[in-house]
Amino acid sequence: MLARSVAVGELVGPQAVAKGYTRRVLSLAQAERETAWLLALGVLRREVDGQGLTDRFRLTPLGRQLLAEWQTTPWPPPTWRERLRHFCWRWLKR
């Protein structure tokens, strides 16, 4: 997503893992849920064409900044407390 926009269909299945888009195989529903989460955080945005919104996503400036930071200094894994808090927040947002 750093170089070009990516369609949600490209994030599905084993080819997404092979391309490095995901770490595990996702179904279409899971991919849509994960992209919705990243949209809500402000890391991704939907691409727009002449007819309106598309199914393609690209990084926002915040997403680019976070990616650049993560590539230079990888973040430590989240603590169990952070995982629980994020799980609860995501579950409540459904």
Instruction: Residue 53: give its domain's CATH number.
Output: 1.10.10
**Can you give the pLDDT at residue 74?**
80
In a domain, 1, yes or no: no
Residue 29's CB is within 10 A of a number of other CB atoms, namely 9
Answer whether residue 18 is part of any domain: yes
Amino acid 71: pLDDT:
85
Residue 14 included in any domain? yes
Query: What is the helix, strand, coil percentage profile of the chain, to 5?
Result: 50, 15, 30
Residue with the larger pLDDT of the pair 51 and 10: 10
- Per the structure block, which two tokens stand in for 75? 């973040």
The pLDDT assigned to 94 comes to 66
User: pTM for the whole thing?
Assistant: 0.74
Helix (H) or strand (E) holding 88: helix 80-92
End-to-end CA distance of the chain: give it in Å, rounded.
25
Count of the separate structural domains present in the chain? 1
Do the domain assignments include residue 25?
yes
* Structural domain boundaries enclosing 33: 6-92
Could you tell me if residue 80 is inside a domain?
yes
Mean pLDDT of 64-81: 89
Q: Does residue 33 have a pLDDT over 70?
A: yes
**pLDDT number for residue 24:** 93
Residue 27 lies in a domain: yes
pLDDT over 80 (residue 53): no
